[in-house]
A and B are shown apart, each in its own frame.
Chain A
């Protein structure tokens, strides 16, 4: 079974500073994907970034980067140059890749981290 742990219930950051949101995972699957989603107070879930377990390089998407350390089973999200609009709940999630990566299973989510950006 897959398990995602986000140990930071809340984080605070000053506008324009960088912040790291922690995520550790546990799985016995050899192939899997790691995702980060943002959920603002309005409620929608917004996909931010993806990292595959066999990807050699850490994923980056604009101001978002994923610090993937496979041996430590961690997939931390780094947000650079924080903006007020980054204030939201952030979820780390894992998906098992089935049948050699030709099919995908469900997403399993962590408990989330509330990020507050101060002006």
Chain B
């Protein structure tokens, strides 16, 4: 179990640029989640996948955001035409469908911190 890996750890970009983040989940985990966390707040759900299928996307998510998990393994989150309000920590998490009995907690990566200038 090598844990959830996210790349890059930090990203600074200018307003209007596109950015892409990558997440490698724990290998046997079917579920993959993206969350956004701003300073002093709890993580806010963005979207999640079961294998390669995107099962749910937050209604609050702008159409500038898109996520993919093409082969049911790693996932990418792209933000187009970034705005200063997009500055946040982007967290990826994975979980098995049924593990540890009914618990199946989410295992989080260390996040990608995005700063839009």
Contact = CB atoms under 8 A, between A and B. Distances in A.
Contacts, number: 53
Contacts of B102: 33, 52, 97, 101
Nearest to A45: B108
A47 B42 contact: no
B23 interface: no
Given A33-B102, A47-B106, A109-B43, A103 B33 contact: no
B62 interface: no
Given A33-B102, A50-B105, A91 B33 contact: no
B110 to A, nearest CB: 5
Contact of B110 (A33, A44, A104, A106): A44
B105 A91 contact: no
B45 interface: yes
A102 B107 CA distance: 19
B45 A47 contact: no
A107 B103 contact: no
Interface residues of A, number: 26
Interface in A1-55: 4, 6, 33, 35, 37, 43-45, 47, 50, 52
A110 B103 CA distance: 19
B39 to A, nearest CB: 11
B4 to A, nearest CB: 10
B53 interface: no
B32 to A, nearest CB: 11
B15 to A, nearest CB: 24
B56 A47 contact: no
B42 A109 contact: yes
A105 B31 CA distance: 10
Given A101-B102, A111-B42, A106 B48 contact: yes
Which 7 pairs of residues, A with B, have the shortest CB-CB distance? A109-B42, A45-B108, A47-B105, A50-B103, A109-B43, A106-B45, A112-B42
